[in-house]
């Protein structure tokens, strides 16, 4: 796990360094991309960076755990401000009061913000002089200024918030509803065994039967009955349950996992989390063709 977290930190740092270089070399700064107040750039980067990381975990059969969401938040914030500092550190202003990143003229910290009168520290640079991350406005003397300083701070705060929000959303999206076999360090296989609408007495009976089958001696027969009866959805209900076997090829662990779905007015199915899971005995394997 430590190796994965180190790798994650490096991955985010490399992406941040690349983005800093792109900004300085080509003047393109994705964090300065807003539509109205919505920081589109941050939303895109938050999605992209999380997707790369979670896809890598999935490809290597590594369980997507909460800890990685927390470390993602940590690294994404560090990388974001790291990138900003990297750009700030390389920002110089020449005699024509134009910004360059190649060391011509004086470093930006030697100037002052003509609105606040403060010298341009990193904090001042981030929260007062930036619009997103693009410095705008210029008022004579040696000072840079922004017409609406508070707006700059607001836009600046929206960037890290959006990054964090996307990291969290992507965590929930990426987390598979398939169970993970901790013994064999891999995701289990999944096979659907039944499906039925919920919200009526019939469904409640079925749910009771499922509950019963995991405890009863005749459990296999009871589950067989559930499977036989319920393979059709009624058009009138807007909610249904899918029962899946989650099983590990290696160690033969078997679970029955119930997942709830809802159907909206347009007929689109929305998958909700795992509703219930039951450990099943190996003898239940008979019910599926492997
Ligand atoms: Zn296993």
Please indicate, yes or no, whether residues 157 and 19 belong to a single structural domain of this protein. Answer: yes
C-alpha 281 to ligand 1 mean position (Å): 14
Domain boundary among 148, 174, 200: 174
Joined tokens for residue 13: 């740092």
Instruction: Identify the domain boundary among 174, 195, 211.
Output: 174
Q: Other CB atoms closer than 10 Å to residue 246's CB: what's the count?
A: 22
Region class of 27: left (phi > 0), else alpha (psi between -120 and 50), else beta: left
| 3-state SS assignment for residue 64 | coil
Question: What is the distance between the alpha carbons of residues 225 and 212, in angstroms, rounded to a whole number?
Answer: 12
Structure token digits, residue 227: 């499977």
250 alpha carbon to ligand 1 midpoint, in Å? Answer: 5
**Nearest by Cα to 287 from 220, 206, 203, 197:** 220
**Do residues 197 and 271 share a domain?**
yes
What separation in Å is there between the alpha carbon of 181 and the centre of ligand 1?
Answer: 5
193/164 same-domain check: no
Going from the Cα of 196 to the center of ligand 1, the distance in angstroms, rounded, reads 29
Tell me, yes or no, whether 130 and 218 share the same domain.
no
pLDDT, position 69: 94
CA neighbor of 263 nearest in space, from 245, 244, 241: 241
Number of domains in the chain: 2
Same domain, 68 and 106: yes
In a shared domain, residues 41 and 87: yes
124 Cα–ligand 1 center, Å: 54
Residue 160: the pLDDT is: 92
Task: Compute the distance from residue 248 Cα to the ligand 1 centre, in Å.
Answer: 5
Per-residue pLDDT of the chain (290 residues; tens, 9 = 90+): 889 999 999 999 999 999 999 988 888 888 877 777 788 889 999 999 999 999 999 999 899 999 999 999 999 999 999 999 999 999 888 888 778 899 998 898 888 776 677 788 888 887 766 544 445 433 233 334 444 556 667 777 888 999 999 999 999 988 888 889 999 999 999 998 888 888 888 888 888 888 888 887 788 888 888 887 766 676 677 888 999 999 998 998 999 999 999 988 887 888 887 888 999 888 887 777 54
Q: Identify whether residues 32 and 9 lie together within a single domain.
A: yes
In degrees, rounded to 5, the angle at the alpha carbon of residue 195 between the alpha carbons of residues 189 and 198 is 130
Cα(62) to centroid(ligand 1), Å:
13
State how far the Cα of 180 lies from the Cα of 56, in Å rounded to an integer. Answer: 16
Distance CA(76)–CA(166), nearest Å, equals 11
Are residues 195 and 161 both part of a single domain? no
Instruction: Return the bridge partners of 258, or none.
Output: 243, 276
Residue 169 shares a structural domain with residue 262? no
- Supply the pLDDT for residue 115: 67
Same domain assignment for residues 245 and 219: yes
Do 70 and 134 share a structural domain? yes
Is the same domain home to 26 and 54? yes
CA–centroid distance, residue 282 to ligand 1 (Å): 13
Residue where one domain finishes, among candidates 146, 174, 202: 174
Quote the ligand 1 centre to 252 CA distance (angstroms): 6
Domain that holds residue 191: 180-287
Which two three-digit tokens encode residue 151?
């707006």
8 A C-beta contact, residue 138 and residue 145: yes
């Amino acid at each position: 796990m430590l190796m994965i977290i180190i790798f994650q930190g490096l991955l985010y740092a490399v992406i941040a360094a690349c983005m800093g270089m792109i900004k300085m070399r080509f003047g393109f700064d994705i964090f300065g991309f807003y539509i109205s107040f919505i920081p589109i750039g941050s939303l895109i980067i938050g999605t992209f960076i999380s997707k790369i990381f979670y896809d890598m975990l999935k490809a290597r059969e590594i369980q997507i755990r909460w800890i990685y969401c927390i470390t993602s938040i940590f690294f994404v914030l560090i990388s974001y401000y790291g990138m900003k500092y990297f750009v700030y550190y390389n920002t110089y202003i020449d005699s024509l009061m134009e910004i360059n990143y190649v060391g011509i003229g004086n470093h930006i910290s030697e100037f002052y913000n003509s609105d606040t009168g403060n010298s341009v520290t990193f904090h001042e640079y981030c929260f007062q002089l930036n619009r997103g991350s693009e410095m705008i406005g210029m008022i004579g003397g040696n000072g840079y200024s922004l017409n609406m300083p508070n707006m700059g701070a607001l836009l600046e705060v929206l960037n890290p918030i959006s990054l964090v929000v996307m990291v969290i959303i992507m965590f929930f999206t990426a987390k598979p509803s398939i169970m993970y076999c901790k013994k064999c360090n891999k995701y289990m296989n999944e096979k659907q065994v039944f499906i039925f609408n919920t919200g009526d007495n019939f469904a409640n009976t079925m749910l009771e039967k499922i509950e019963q089958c995991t405890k009863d001696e005749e459990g296999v027969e009871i589950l067989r009955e559930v499977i036989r009866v319920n393979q059709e959805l009624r058009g009138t209900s807007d909610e249904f349950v899918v029962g899946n076997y989650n099983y590990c090829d290696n160690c033969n662990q078997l679970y029955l996992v119930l997942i709830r779905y809802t159907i909206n007015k347009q007929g689109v199915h929305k998958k909700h989390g795992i509703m219930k899971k039951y450990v099943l005995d190996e003898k239940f394997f008979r019910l599926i063709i492997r």
